[in-house]
Amino acid sequence: MMAAQPTATPGVRLGWKGLGALASPPRLALSRSAAAALASHRVGRGKFSAAAITTDDYLPMRSTEVKNRTSVDGIKSLRLITAVKTPYLPDGRFDLEAYDSLINTQINGGAEGVIVGGTTGEGHLMSWDEHIMLIGHTVNCFGTNIKVIGNTGSNSTREAIHASEQGFAVGMHAALHVNPYYGKTSTAGLISHFDEVLPMGPTIIYNVPARTGQDIPPAVIEALSGYPNMAGVKECVGHERVKCYTDKGIAIWSGNDDECHDSRGEHNAK
């Protein structure tokens, strides 16, 4: 007798490699806004196999316990957040002993938050398994002494959703999300992308057009500023853009080392 095949369960994301034996792989069906943003999607960096979900059955992985540990206001209150490097061993694995020393240095130096696996931490060279492991390690070892902001952004909306769910599941306090890079999108596409990831938990949007190739215009940030999980923006365009947002009450962290002092002192950045 053949064993019964697994079936979709509301709230459960299917489509992992283990389901490859299904005779008829289920279709991917996202919300209309996400579908528009993903019309020309390709699986990026080979990190996640296709997630098979349906609009009616899909529910994000959410935990009241995780969400209650950190408020959006708690993230907005942070003044000094450091993007930390990721040390490596000669064989390419993380040097966790050196990494732990770096985090302790930040705590002892007065940093209130750290960005894990960001640009400085060479997150673009990590697999998602490595991303989530390092986020979880940082939370487990240091989460009571410093806020952990995990870089779970991606140019793939689907990957950004999945990585953020996992990051919050292992305890990160907030997510850092960049706009989709390389394959530039429209203003509506930018809003659609962030609209899909903001429900996951407290979120900082990262605007670094020198690396992504596309600026996130003020119209997008202003449209997203009313979302409950929108904590603020890490902005790299300059003082004028920082002032544009702080005048509207939007929390801003300068992403440029050479401008942080003046952005805070003269333009009310964090």
What's the per-residue H, E or C state across the chain? CCCCCCCCCCCCCECCHHHCCCCCCCCCCCCHHHHHHCCCCCCCCCCCCCCECCCCCCCCCCCHHHHHHCCHHHHHCCCCEEECCCCECCCCCECHHHHHHHHHHHHHCCCCEEEECCCCCCHHHCCHHHHHHHHHHHHHHHCCCCEEEEECCCCCHHHHHHHHHHHHHCCCCEEEEECCCCCCCCHHHHHHHHHHHHHHCCEEEEECHHHHCCCCCHHHHHHHCCCCCEEEEEECCCHHHHHHHHCCCCCEEECCCCCHHHHHHHHCCC
Q: Is 234 a catalytic residue?
A: yes
Instruction: Considering the candidates 234, 243, 248, 270, report the single residue annotated as catalytic.
Output: 234
Instruction: Considering the candidates 147, 206, 245, 270, report the single residue annotated as catalytic.
Output: 206
Q: Is 85 a catalytic residue?
A: no
Q: Which residues are catalytic?
A: 206, 234
